[in-house]
Amino acid sequence: MEITPQELKKELDTKKKILIVDVRQPEEFDFVHLEGSKNIPLPEFQSRVSEIPKDAGIVTVCHHGNRSMQAAVILNSLGYKARSLKGGQYEWAKQIDKKMKYYNAETYYENGKIKCEVWEVKD
């Protein structure tokens, strides 16, 4: 039920039709997200699942892969074909898109001020 960053990149490179659903909070999504992804925060997920087409190949994404795995389980239980991005947006940034921002202690602060309020989010 997981897909590695390398596998997802290969599928995206071959133009395979994939809907990327980012289940992080809007602040996290606004800070950084995979291009073309749709933000449906996990707390709203079950009430908004109708926004996801059943015929799409779905990859759920979060920061490290825990919340996205919960979303993938929900989707698969409802008859969708969903996979969770292993390691989440963080591993995507480390392995695939090295220019992409990611959260860690170094990226939270700039000139002594918090750049992004997501540092308290735990996956």
| pLDDT for residue 120 | 45
pLDDT band at 31 (very low <50, low <70, confident <90, very high): confident
Question: Is a pLDDT exceeding 60 seen at residue 121?
Answer: no
Question: Is a pLDDT exceeding 50 seen at residue 30?
Answer: yes
For the segment 93-115, the average pLDDT, to the nearest whole number, is 70
Question: Is a pLDDT exceeding 80 seen at residue 97?
Answer: yes
Q: What's the one-letter identity of residue 97?
A: D
Kindly list the structural domains of the chain, giving each domain's residue range(s) and its CATH number in brackets, ordered by start.
2-116 (3.40.250.10)
| pLDDT for residue 28 | 84
For the segment 60-78, the average pLDDT, to the nearest whole number, is 96
Residue 47 burial by CB count (10 A; 0-12/13-18/19+): exposed, middle or buried? exposed
